[in-house]
Structure formats: structure tokens, C-alpha cells
Chains A and B, each alone.
Chain A
Amino acid sequence: MKQTGPLLITAAGGFVLIVAYFIPFAQNWGELAAIWFDILAAVAFILGGGNLLKTHLKRISDRARGWGYSGVVVVSFLATLFVGLVKVGVNPSAQFPDFAWSGQYRQMGSAFWYLFQYAFTPLTATMFSLLAFYIASAAFRAFRAKNVEAVLLLGTAFIILLGRTFAGVALTSWIDPDVWAGFAYFTGLRLENLTVYIMSVFNTAGNRAIMIGIALGIVATSLKVLLGIDRSYLGKD
């Protein structure tokens, strides 16, 4: 029962959505399954938060290495959770002033908004901006024109990097029919135009082939899951 029940649910959930795609009569079933899925996705947020709390509380109780930072995680987690759930600093909505809880949880000026503005945004945005430094370092250390393939990759990258800025225009603006009428046939070689052709021709072709391959892979994987051939997600016992 521990295995059979989930297998049946997996198949039912999946095939309802597949059937709903082809039979208009079954569309409502598909909608219902998708809505349940959407709500469970929100519950997964709670599960994720709960797991994080559990892990870090254990690190603190074990006095594991760096447990002080786990303390910071727990404090910032609980503080954010508290001000968000209790709507600290949120005025009731203008439409329903007599309902104390009617204001929007992320209302401008509230404690939750404050955390978004001055903690969440700078922290997450700066964390992602570090990638710029690492990609520059990787460019210096990893890219070597060892063979034709690597030259093609690097050459394309150079054209894109130049062509998607004013450098492209500045470097090849001389390919201009006003300079020499014969250039009218070669304007496609201007870096900004080359960039467009690379993207719309070679990049499209390459990514389309990858897309077709991935699509077949996902269809096969999904079918294996729905038919109960792949049961790895259920665990062992």
C-alpha cells in the first residue's frame, strides 16, 4: 500500500491532465488537478521553510562548526516570518478600514516591505552580481583556442560581445554604401548585423536541435514515471 497508493495517484494525476488536453469534456478535471497542484506548491514553500529551520536548529543544538551563523539564519527566518504573518506595520485596507487584518502583507512602509527593500533585495541582487566577477575570471582561465571548435565558440562570443554594444557599430561602421556603393552587398558583415544573423540562424538551429532532443527526453521520462516504470521518487522502503 505504501508503494501502490502513490503509484496510482501519480498515474491518475498525470493522465487526467493528458486526457484533458485532448477531450474538451475533461477540461474541468485538468483544471482541478492543476489547481490542487498549484496549492500544494505553496505548501511546499512551508515545507521548505520548516526543513531549513529544522536543519539549522539541529546545527545549533549540536554546536556544529559555524553554529553561530545558523543562529543568524534562525533569527532572520523567524523575524521575517513573524512580521510577515502578523502583518507588522500594515494599515487596514482603505476599502475595509474596520478590518484590522485587511491590509496587504507587503504594503509599502510595513516591516515586511522594509525587509524586502533593505535586506532581501541587496542581499540577493548582490549575490547574483558576483557571477559577473566569476565569469570574467573563467574567461581568463578557461577559454583556450585549442582547436576549430574552440575558435568557433570564441569567435562567436567576440562577435556577440562587440556586436551587442556600441563597439560593434564603431568598429564596422565603415561598411557603408555611402563610403563605397559596393558595400551595399556587405552590410550584413557589420558586427551588429552579424550578431542578428548568428542569433536568428545558427543559434536558432543549434538550440532547436537541443530543444527537440530535450523534449523527447522529457516525454520518455514522464511516461516512465506515469506508467510506474521509474519509481525512484518514492524512495526505497
Chain B
Amino acid sequence: MTEFIVNQWWLVAIVIASLIPLVMRIVSAGLLETLRTLDRRWIFLLLLWAVLIPIYFIGVTGRTFPEVPSVLARATFDEIDRLNPGDPILLAFDYDPPSEGELGPMATAFVYHAASKKLRMYFMALWPLGAQMIDNTIAKVITPDFRDLVYGRDYINLGFKSGQEGVIKVVVTNLRELYTTDSRGTAMQDIPMMEGITNIQQMKVIVSVSAGYPGTKEWVQYAVTPFPSLRLVAGATGVQAPLLYPYVPRQLPGLLGAIKGAAEYEKLVVDAYGGANADPKYLEALRRMGPQLVAHLLIITLIVVANVVFLIDRGRKR
């Protein structure tokens, strides 16, 4: 840490300089008065530093926190890991760039896991930008690191269809009426891995990477509930994850919640398939847990400080 501070003196100088006006105000008006009338932009600045400095620290030093996978992350991992090579799985990428910070690492880890297991991957999207997210993940994982996997034989991007839950309602019994071609415009009959696939009940597992509506909830309601033999695991945003717990485990055997869930699953996948020197691109969530820690501590401190001021003021009024 000391070495970091000495080497990155310029960053330390910028952080200190940016906070000088706040310190001066505390000195002149007093701590309590400053806190009572604190301009919210100071909170913005504190949060900026709380997130930016750990990112920079981890980026420079490469150090991350150890991660212990929780029961649900392990359950998610096991659902995919128990499959055999060649088993078909559906990967529904129902998210777009705004939630990539949370869901990008999950999507990467799911694809890395499935590709390592040599599963047949069927990608589709209920969000308009989902097809692009699929392209990006394929370009990040499969194209550079799994060159033996062939498009159309081992993986396929079916692309986006509009209609939210209406799409699930159709593909669960009749995939081909809606998906007449893949996202490249190739007819279903010309795609080797589509042979014999008529609906998504034939998938061994459905993986839902979900940012909201339509997403995991709709997959539970329109696919898993009416067809209980389907197995669904999900990677969901922090906002969505708590709402999905009532479905666990009967309708949703595996759930990764927010960046922590991503980091746990990443750890399981990389430990199992990444080797001793895993590519750092597969440890994105693990790195992001650093800023997460500092920012959480800041938020707790802010709440505590605000409550101390509140209690002091209430005591004085009485």
C-alpha cells in the first residue's frame, strides 16, 4: 500500500486537493453545521473516489480479495457442470449495455463454462440489444479461446425477437415459427445443430442473464412453471435478484445475484477450467469486488454519520 501511495503520488495529490474546500468549510463552519448543510456534490465526489481509487489500485497492483462461493452460486455451477458434452443449453441474454457492469462478467463466465464443457449453445435475446451482447460475448470468449468450436455446429446466435413474454410463450412449444433463420439469416434446415430441435423444452438447461423485464421472471412464468421438467438458472442484476428468491429452488434452482454472484461463479468456473494462470478477462467480477467493498463502506458511513447528526439534533430539540 505504501509503495502504491508513493508511486502514485499524483493521484493522492489530486484526491487531497479536491477535498481541501470541504476541509476548509468544516474548519470554518464546524463539523455538525457542515454535515447538516452538506452539498450533495461532495457526496458524489466521495463516491467517485471510493470507486475510482480501488479500480486504479487493483489495476496497478493486480491484487483482489479472496472469494468464497455461496450455496446458490454452487448450485448454478452444478446445474451446468453436471451436463455432458453435446448437451443443448439455451442462453438467453436479456440485457443491454447499461447493466453490463453487473451482467457482463456473468455472461462471460456462463459462456466460458458451457464452452469448456463442450455443450451445444443456443443463444437468444428478448432485449433488442441482447443480440449485440451475444455477439460481444462470443467475440470475447469463443472466437479467441475456443477455436475448435464451430458456428452452427457448436453454438448459434438465434438473435432477438420482439414481444417479451410472448416470445417465450411461442418458443417453448414452437421455436421455428418465430425463428425462421438464425441472426445471420441462415435457414434452420441448413444449420446442423438445429436438426431435431423444434422447441426449447429440448434444452437441458436454460441460462437467463437478465436485467429486468422481460427476463428471468418471465422465463419462470412462461417456460418453467408450465413445463416443470425445464431447468433454469439465472444471473440477475442487484435490483432484480431479491425479487427472484421466492422461485428458488423449485422454479429456479440456481441464481447469481449482482456482481457478488458473478464473482462467486467466476471463481468456481475459473478454478475448475481456467488453469493456474487464468486469463484475467475471466476475473472481471472478482476485480470489481474491490470498488464494491470501499463504496459499500462509504454508503454505510454516510448513513451512520447522517443518523448521528439526526440523533444529536433530536436530542437538542428535546
Contacts and interface: CB of A to CB of B under 8 A. Distances in A.
Q: Indicate whether A and B are direct neighbours in the complex (CB within 8 Å).
A: yes
Interface of A: 17, 21, 27, 30-31, 34-35, 37-39, 41-42, 44-45, 93, 95, 102, 104, 106, 108, 116, 120-121, 124-125, 127-129, 132-133, 135-137, 139-141, 143-145, 154, 157-158, 161-162, 164-167, 169, 192, 196, 199-200, 203-204, 207-208, 211
A104 B185 contact: yes
B135 A167 contact: no
Q: Is the interface of B mostly helix, strand, loop or mixed?
A: helix
Contacts of B43: 133, 136-137, 140
Contacts of B185: 93, 102, 104
Contacts of B299: 135-136, 139, 161
Interface string B127-158: 01101100100010000000000000000000
A158 B169 contact: no
Given A45-B162, A136-B298, 15 more contacts: A31-B170, A31-B174, A34-B169, A34-B170, A38-B161, A44-B162, A106-B135, A124-B98, A125-B101, A133-B44, A141-B40, A145-B311, A164-B292, A164-B296, A203-B242
A166 B65 contact: yes
Interface stretch (B15-23, B80-88, B105-113, B302-310): B302-310
Given A35-B178, A164-B260, A169-B68, A129 B101 contact: yes
Contacts of A127: 98
Contacts of A136: 43-44, 46-47, 295, 298-299, 302
A124 B97 contact: yes
A144 B310 contact: yes
Contacts of A17: 169
Contact of B177 (A31, A42, A106, A135): A31
Nearest to B161: A38
A12 B69 CA distance: 49
B303 A162 contact: no
Interface in B176-196: 177-178, 183-186
A166 B97 CA distance: 27
Contacts of A166: 65-66, 289, 293
A124 B211 CA distance: 14
B131 to A, nearest CB: 7
29 contacts: A31-B170, A35-B166, A38-B178, A42-B162, A44-B162, A93-B184, A95-B184, A104-B184, A104-B185, A120-B97, A121-B100, A128-B99, A129-B101, A132-B47, A139-B303, A139-B306, A140-B43, A140-B306, A141-B40, A158-B303, A165-B65, A165-B289, A165-B293, A166-B289, A166-B293, A192-B70, A200-B248, A207-B246, A208-B246
Interface residues of B, number: 66
A167 B293 contact: yes
A16 B40 CA distance: 54
Interface in B12-40: 38, 40
Given A102-B185, A125-B97, A38 B162 contact: yes
B71 interface: yes
B96 interface: yes
Contacts of B116: none
Contact of A38 (B128, B166, B257): B166
A191 B186 CA distance: 52
A157 B238 CA distance: 13
B224 interface: no
Given A125-B101, A164-B258, A38 B167 contact: yes
Closest 8 CB pairs of A and B: A38-B163, A128-B98, A166-B65, A208-B246, A41-B162, A42-B162, A165-B293, A121-B97
Contacts of A140: 38, 40, 43, 302-303, 305-306
A216 B163 CA distance: 23
A147 to B, nearest CB: 12
A109 B246 CA distance: 43
A27 B100 CA distance: 37
A161 B259 CA distance: 12
B155 to A, nearest CB: 16
A63 B245 CA distance: 51
B51 interface: yes
A161 B170 contact: no
B132 to A, nearest CB: 6
B163 A108 contact: no
Given A38-B166, A108-B139, A161-B299, A132 B51 contact: yes
Contacts of B166: 34-35, 37-38, 41
A159 to B, nearest CB: 10
Contacts of B128: 45
Interface in B256-300: 257-258, 260, 289, 292-293, 295-300
